[in-house]
Structure 1
Amino acid sequence: MLSANIQAGSSTRRYSDYFTRSWSHALPVGAKRTSLDAIAELAGGHDIVGLQEADPGSLRSGFTNQTQYVARRAGFAYWSHQPNRNVARVAGSANGLLSKLEPVKVAMHPLPGRIAGRGVLLAHFGQGDDGLVVAVAHLSLGNGSRRMQLGFIAELLAAHRHSVLMGDFNCVPDVPEMDLLYSRTHLRPPGFCVPTFPSWRPQRAIDHILVTDHLVPTNARALPAAFSDHLALALEIDVPAEALRQ
């Protein structure tokens, strides 16, 4: 599996770029297509991919649905996206999921928070509570909003023994609000942290792929997501056959 905050294909290679290249977050300029092609090449080596900050088709992306573009470029048969924010059609943001396996159901939920515009996308593989559920989310910067969001996600995943929650959490895995997941679901803290932010000098582990205690994760590693300010996070997961049975 792979989780990547792709920053809508924009380029950030140092902190000063947030100011000097701010125009690229509102205009269809820069090497966004080149960045998306590189992300597609990376994504193609995985079975399930979660994207955050994928533009759903606004001015800054040249009205390109970036999740769809990456899915088709990388050869994924199935893809879904959840638009969460659209600022006057100038800049949009979405969660995306790409899969080589056919989900039996996809659900999308807005997340609570002090400021609207966050969501969680759930893809169900297999049947019933024993099926595999993969959730993609992009959480808020503030710990108060994150606490509400993690409590909401915990309710969605509580009954599922085989579940994965991936995305940009904007926090390390041992902050107090993360205990809502560990105490109310089968999800467990990662065995070790992989720094992913900022991409040019990774110091903070704020992107995560959390799995339940009924799944076996191995080989967690950070990989460049083209020119994004986050590194992508990859993880191999051993999933029981019954969790994928249609």
Structure 2
Amino acid sequence: MVFGKGTPLLAGAVIAACVVLLGPSAPGDALFGRSQPVDAVKDVVSNRVMTWNLCNPCETSDVDRAAEIARYAPQVIGLQEACVRDVESIRDHLENLHGLVYHVEYGSVLRNWGRCGGAPWSPGGYGQALLSAAPMTDRVNVEYPDGGSEDRGYLAVTTTVGGRSVRVFNTHLAERRQEAVRAKQTGVLAAAVARHDRAIVIGDFNATPDAPELTPMWELAADADPQCHPAPGSCETTTDWQSKFDYVFLRDVARLDHRVRHSPYSDHDLLLADVG
């Protein structure tokens, strides 16, 4: 290729045009520093809580899971059937892709290679997790004395929702057709909840609202849906098999709004509640 006398001038013009279009390249600039969040969310909804059973094992991308959460930007998120590695990945995607920063506490109740991968001699942790935009304190992780066909438990923390301190519980009860086991688990959970004047209890209870084993919870707290009662057909379903298994129970916490949002990434819907 042959360059004429005007080549330096032409090159300078091209460089100048690039600077105008792309901006300066000083250290820390977006072009050469960290990438900007995609579809960044300015802030979380400070009085919104959410519960979601992730479905495990399921072939689902953590990028997609994070996008589902970011769509509603809750202050507190309770996850069940959660692998530690997946939760770490979801948290990173929430921050890097959506500008949402969360603290995380884990409530693993077993280590399972089949569900969570890892080395056969060091499988990944599996159980519950809580993400909160505010710091969490006084973490308690309890494994139920009898988990049924699989170890189960609850995770509890103190954090801030709607500008007020509240105790938050996240649980996953024994699988369907294990009513007697769930009854014992609910007794353990209800005793812990009863020690707190204000509490939010979220999770997958694997039981419909009229199930006898949920009676201790109904005696302590109300569903975030004012139309939902321990009676058949009074509550919106939260699973692909058209049952309500997922709950946001409120103890001395005002209920303002609730919604169930179907997700293609799990066999459970996202359940959200705005509280006062």
What TM-score, normalized by structure 2, do the two folds share?
Answer: 0.66
Q: Is the 8 A contact 2:132 2:159 kept in 1?
A: no
1:8 CA displacement: 3.8
Closer, same or farther in 2 for the Cα pair 1:143/1:179, shift >3 Å? same
Is residue 195 of structure 1 aligned with residue 220 of structure 2? no
Judge conservation of contact 1:39–1:226 (CA < 8 Å) in 2: no
**1:11-160 matches, cutoff 5 A:** 30-42=59-71, 45-56=73-84, 65-74=85-94, 75-87=100-112, 89-92=113-116, 93-113=126-146, 114-125=148-159, 131-141=165-175, 142-160=178-196
Structure 2 gap ranges (5+): 1-48, 95-99, 117-125, 229-234
From the superposition, tell whether residues 9 and 227 of structure 1 become closer, same or farther in structure 2 (CA, over 3 Å): farther
Matched-pair identity in %: 20
- Is this contact kept in 2: 1:42–1:225, CA < 8 A? no
Which whole-Å CA distance do the structure 2 matches of 1:39 and 1:117 have between them? 27
Select 2:260's aligned residue among 214, 222, 233.
222
Q: How far apart in 2 are the matches of 1:116 and 1:6?
A: 16
Gaps of 5+ in 1: 11-29, 57-64, 239-246
Aligned residues between the structures? 200
- Of structures 1 and 2, the one with the larger relative CO (CA 8 A, separation 6+) is 1
- 1:14 — aligned with what? none
Aligned equivalents of 1:207, 1:181: Cα separation in 2: 13
> Structure 1 residues 68, 182: CA separation in 2 closer, same or farther (over 3 Å shift)?
same
Distance 2:263 2:109 in 1: 21
Moved over 3 A (4+): none
Contact 2:153 2:172 in 1 (8 A): yes
> Compared with structure 1, are the counterparts of its residues 104 and 55 closer, same or farther at alpha carbon in structure 2 (3 Å cutoff)?
closer
Q: Which amino acid aligns with 1:103?
A: M
Aligned-partner residue type, residue 205 of structure 2: F
RMSD over aligned Cα atoms: 2.1
